[in-house]
Structure 1
Amino acid sequence: MKFRREWSIPWRALMLLSLCVNVVLFTYVSVQWLRPGGFRAGAGVPLRMIERVAERLPAEDAEILWSIYRGKEAELAPLQAEYRLALMKAMKTAAQTNLDKAELEAAVKDARDKRVKIGDLVVSTFVEMLERISAKGRRQLVGGYFR
Structure 2
Amino acid sequence: MPKRTVIVPDSLAPNPAFSPAVRVGDLLFVSGQVSVDNDGNIIGIGDCEAQARHIVSRISTIVQSVGASMSDVVKVTTFLTDINDYPAFSKVRGETFPTDPPASSTVIVAGLVRPELVIEIEAVVNIPD
More helix by share: 1
The answer to whether TM tops 0.5 is no
What's the TM-score bracket when you normalise by the shorter of the two chains?
Answer: under 0.3
More strand by share: 2
Q: Which is greater in Rg?
A: 1
User: 1 or 2 for the larger relative contact order (CA 8 Å, sep ≥6)?
Assistant: 2
